[in-house]
Homo-oligomer: A and B are copies of this chain.
Amino acid sequence: MSEQIKNRIEDANRQAVERVLRSRPILVDIKPAIEVLSGMKKNSIFHAGPPIEWKRMSGPLRGAIVATMIFEQLVESWDEAVKLIESGQIEFSPNHDHDAVGPMAGVISPSMPVLVVKNEKFGNTCFGRLVEQKVQFGVFDEDAVQILKFWAKTLGPALGKAIRVSKGIDLKSLMARALHMGDELHNRPVAGTALFASIITPYLIEVLDREELVKVTKFFSTNDIFFLCMSMAACKTIMNAARDIEYSTLVIAMARNGTDFGIKVSGLGNEWFIGPAQMIEGRYFPGYKHGDANPDIGDSAITETAGIGAFALANSPAILSLIGGSAEDAIKYTKQMREITMTLNDTFSIPILDFQGTATGIDIRKVVKTGILPVIDTAMAHKQAGIGMIGAGVVRPPLEAFKQALYAFGRKYRL
């Protein structure tokens, strides 16, 4: 490779990572997906990870799709849903291809409320599906569907109203604070949820009647995990600001659909580079064991892509009670990620490492050269539709995806 090309790549990466660091994601609204997501039609179902057709989909993704179709009143049962899907009347597409992200199965349908996050610095807007404990893990029973109805009818409109009155919530500064409060903002967004609740409550009081107010504020105090959706949407907004920079080897998305793991790279346009989704090493809830888990699933690895999640695991030793491992491991993971990234974050930092920034901006060249794979902490879904979350742990992506991206990079830029 010529010195000139090398310099060109370095320049591109400097520019890309500068846009990552300067991004300022602001939560500006919550709206039904069909009103804001590009390319969403009445028969669209968007999902986590790279593109996949129904017959290759894993159990939890299928379960989430069926639950969502019931929520949309397209069907009333699993069998009806399968029939409609197999007749070709549902159009599937990855969230990431529409500037959106969703946790676990990550299924987004037209009526579903989504977070609208605007990058105050660069003007790009991204979207995030809310977080719950059922549908996104593949559960499709009446209780699960009920949660989506609560969102669409109560939570989404209520929060949307309050957010609009607030004139926007600065997610990045909130996230920086939460990272100093034991969160890594992927599997542990507890402080983020509490801080968000504390910020939004006065606005909720302003815009809601008492009955709605009680419902919505009680929701926060019993849904510690809620802020994950904001963290994800903020990270997507941050990383999308670094898209399409020619010659950049920056990873701008890592996502899993439960079957495949895919990445996107700044200098390689909209193309996905794929490998098989991996099995998670971690802890199971009582009654479940290794063979029960589905492979890695969800768009939530956008947090690691943006330099938090497991890249900030040293901030969240408390999470180890959930995923297994020692505090020393957490620090080791956090430090190891410096080997494959472009910079240390200047907003997201690690007090226990004397406030050094988190490793930020994965470089496909460094991953392939070192063989060190990004670390991701994640929940585990049961491999069968209808069962749900069965544990949590740590996973690494397949090297293959990074190698393919590097080959494609070589081809595109004739290296």
Chain A residues within CB distance 8 Å of chain B: 177, 180-183, 190-191, 194-195, 197-199, 201-202, 205-206, 210, 213-214, 217-218, 220-221, 316-318, 320-321, 326-327, 351-355
Contacts and interface: CB of A to CB of B under 8 A. Distances in A.
B217 A201 contact: yes
Contacts of A210: 205
Contact of A327 (B177, B201, B352): B352
Nearest to A351: B317
A197 B201 contact: yes
B199 A191 contact: no
A202 B218 contact: yes
Contact of A181 (B181, B198, B202): B181
A125 B355 CA distance: 40
Contact of A182 (B182, B202, B321): B182
B205 A221 contact: no
Given A202-B214, A317-B354, 7 more contacts: A181-B194, A181-B318, A197-B201, A199-B221, A205-B210, A317-B352, A352-B352
A177 B354 CA distance: 23
A195 B320 CA distance: 21
14 contacts: A181-B191, A182-B191, A194-B197, A197-B197, A197-B201, A198-B198, A198-B217, A198-B221, A199-B221, A202-B217, A205-B217, A317-B351, A320-B354, A321-B355
Nearest to A193: B198
A195 B222 CA distance: 11
B318 A180 contact: yes
A375 B320 CA distance: 28
Contacts of A355: 321
Q: Which 6 A-B pairs have the closest CB atoms?
A: A317-B351, A194-B194, A180-B318, A181-B182, A318-B351, A181-B181
A181 B218 CA distance: 21
A190 B176 CA distance: 14
Contacts of A183: 181
Given A182-B182, A318-B180, A354-B327, A194 B205 contact: no
Contacts of A318: 180-181, 351
Contact of A205 (B197, B214, B320): B214
Contacts of A220: 198
A202 B354 CA distance: 38
Nearest to A215: B202
A406 to B, nearest CB: 36
Given A351-B318, A351-B320, A198 B194 contact: yes
Contacts of A198: 194, 197-198, 217, 220-221
| Residue of A201, A210, A321, A326 with most partner-chain B CB within 10 A | A201
A369 B181 CA distance: 37
A356 to B, nearest CB: 10
A181 B191 CA distance: 7
A206 B214 contact: yes
A317 B356 CA distance: 12
Contacts of A217: 198, 201-202, 205
A184 to B, nearest CB: 12
Contacts of A321: 351, 355
Contacts of A320: 351, 354
A283 to B, nearest CB: 14
A198 B196 CA distance: 10
Contact of A194 (B195, B206, B327): B195
A317 B350 CA distance: 9
A183 B221 CA distance: 19
